[in-house]
């Protein structure tokens, strides 16, 4: 296999560097997207292997999403060039060679097989493994914890409440303490993170500027289906997603929604290949000012219920008056509510799964520590 940019065409010709990532990609969040962004930056072409439901159930426990949903979700992340459905759980040189990849990239956390082995051992030994930084402040474990606990402590403007902290401690912790990989830490938004995720592209002449608004909470396949349909409405679509502030979402959704705060939702939506721009904290009512400012041609909403504004008015009154409002049927009935229900249904299995995962990780940490001590 040709490596290091060497090419059959002789000296000077550059062969694209092909990068491999793999995983379950169940409940995809901006932490996964950030890993794929970093991996893509290490080469020219990114292939992402996604495991089957059967493989995940064997090594980890039942996934929340079906493999079809997970394939589509990963394909919608803008740094992914190609997906490899049904990738094996343990990454081998055979897989890298099959897809003609130079190396594979994984975060600086650890993944273990059912019998506690590092799933990347073979490629590490062969020197075809690269590491990228894990995104601080988000993990599937933490998100599941927020869903199970009906508190609003994760919203961006509320002091953290002790109940939530106590619960997340239980949730991401085995009997012996914290694993740094599964535990919960605080997400801190920076302008740099937004710049890394943003497309940075201004609308071009001839673009159709389409505005969509919502919570886009726990960005999922229902959102992807909707945005893909909206994207197909124009030849050169420029989609702007307006994200409502946490308090606004809580007003119309109730309970402890949104599960992800405004900063987290911003990154999740920016990672989607169909979205060009995000308005952080968009007004609930789509106003004349907003439409004029962004020169919006079309405003779209899915088939979900539109809750009236605080004063009882229709938030889409202005775009309807201008004749630029369109309902879009995504063909998907998946909502954030349904996902939360799926997870609560599996609650006990998840808690057991996370505690088992944590115990395995702690055992590896202990072994690594002993090895270090024996060296000195």
Per the model's pLDDT, the better-predicted residue between 149 and 82 turns out to be 82
In tens, the pLDDT along 157-175 reads: 654 444 444 433 333 333 3
In tens, the pLDDT along 65-83 reads: 999 999 999 999 999 999 9
- The top-scoring range by mean pLDDT among 76-85, 106-115, 254-263, 348-357 is 76-85
State the residue for tokens 């493989």.
55
The confidence band for 234, taking pLDDT boundaries of 50, 70 and 90, is very high
Give the pLDDT score at 185: 47
The DSSP secondary structure of 324-344, one letter per residue, reads -EEE---S----HHHHHHHHH
Task: Round the average pLDDT of the chain to a whole number and report it.
Answer: 85
Per the model's pLDDT, the better-predicted residue between 26 and 358 turns out to be 26
Q: Could you give the 3-state DSSP secondary structure of residue 196?
A: helix
- Residues 196 and 37 sit within 8 Å (Cβ to Cβ): yes
Give the pLDDT score at 155: 79
- The top-scoring range by mean pLDDT among 28-37, 101-110, 277-286 is 277-286
Contacts of 7 (CB under 8 A, 6+ apart): 13, 14, 15
Q: In terms of C-beta distances under 8 Å and separation of at least 24 residues, what long-range contacts does 312-315 make, across chains too?
A: 313/285, 315/213, 315/284, 315/285, 315/286
Per the model's pLDDT, the better-predicted residue between 136 and 315 turns out to be 315
- Least confident residue range of 99-108, 212-221, 251-260, 359-368: 359-368
Per the model's pLDDT, the better-predicted residue between 362 and 249 turns out to be 249
Contacts of 28 (CB under 8 A, 6+ apart): 70, 73, 74, 77, 219, 220
H or E stretch covering 241? strand 237-243
* Whole-angstrom distance, CA of residue 226 vs CA of residue 229: 5
Give the pLDDT score at 1: 36
Q: Identify which of 141, 166, 177 has the alpha carbon closest to the alpha carbon of residue 359.
A: 177
Per the model's pLDDT, the better-predicted residue between 162 and 187 turns out to be 187
Checking phi first, is residue 17 left (phi over 0); if not, alpha (psi -120 to 50) or beta?
beta
State the residue for tokens 């987290």.
264
pLDDT of residue 180 exceeding 60, the answer is: no
Note the helical H segments in 76-151.
93-98, 121-125, 140-148
Per the model's pLDDT, the better-predicted residue between 322 and 139 turns out to be 322
Mean pLDDT across 220-229: 97
pLDDT of residue 105 exceeding 80, the answer is: yes
The confidence band for 317, taking pLDDT boundaries of 50, 70 and 90, is very high
The confidence band for 150, taking pLDDT boundaries of 50, 70 and 90, is low
Give the pLDDT score at 353: 66
Pairing of strands 82-85, 103-107: unpaired
């Amino acid at each position: 296999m040709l490596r290091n940019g060497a090419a059959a065409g002789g000296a000077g010709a550059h062969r694209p560097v092909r990068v491999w990532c793999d995983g379950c990609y169940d409940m995809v969040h901006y932490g996964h997207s950030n890993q794929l962004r970093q991996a893509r930056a290490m080469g020219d072409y990114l292939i992402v292997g996604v495991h089957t439901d059967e493989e995940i159930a064997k090594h980890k426990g039942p996934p929340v999403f079906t493999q079809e949903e997970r394939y589509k979700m990963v394909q919608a992340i803008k740094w992914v060039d190609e997906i490899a459905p049904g990738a094996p759980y343990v990454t081998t040189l055979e897989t890298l060679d099959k897809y003609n990849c130079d190396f594979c990239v994984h975060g600086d956390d650890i993944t273990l097989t059912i019998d506690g082995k590092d799933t990347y051992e073979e490629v590490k030994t062969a020197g075809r493994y690269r590491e990228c930084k894990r995104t601080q402040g988000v993990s599937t474990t933490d998100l599941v914890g927020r869903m199970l606990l009906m508190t609003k402590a994760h919203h961006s403007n509320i002091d953290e409440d002790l109940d939530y902290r106590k619960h997340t401690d239980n949730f991401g912790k085995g009997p012996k303490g914290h694993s740094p990989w599964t535990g919960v830490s605080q997400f801190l938004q920076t302008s740099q993170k937004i710049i890394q995720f943003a497309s940075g592209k201004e609308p071009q002449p001839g673009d159709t500027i389409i505005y969509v608004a919502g919570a886009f909470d726990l960005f999922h396949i229902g959102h992807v289906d909707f945005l893909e349909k909206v994207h197909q409405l124009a030849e050169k679509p420029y989609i702007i997603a307006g994200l409502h502030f946490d308090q606004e979402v809580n007003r119309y959704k109730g309970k402890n929604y949104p599960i992800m705060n405004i900063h987290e939702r911003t990154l999740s939506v920016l990672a989607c290949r169909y979205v060009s721009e995000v308005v952080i904290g968009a007004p609930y009512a789509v106003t004349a000012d907003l439409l004029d400012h962004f020169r919006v041609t079309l405003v779209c909403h899915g088939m979900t219920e539109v809750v009236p504004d605080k004063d009882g008015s229709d938030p889409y009154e202005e775009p309807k008056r201008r004749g630029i409002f369109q309902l879009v049927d995504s063909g998907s009935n998946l909502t954030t509510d349904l996902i939360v229900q799926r997870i609560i249904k599996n609650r006990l299995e998840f808690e057991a799964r996370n505690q088992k995962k944590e115990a395995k990780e702690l055992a590896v940490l202990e072994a690594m520590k002993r090895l270090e001590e024996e060296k000195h």
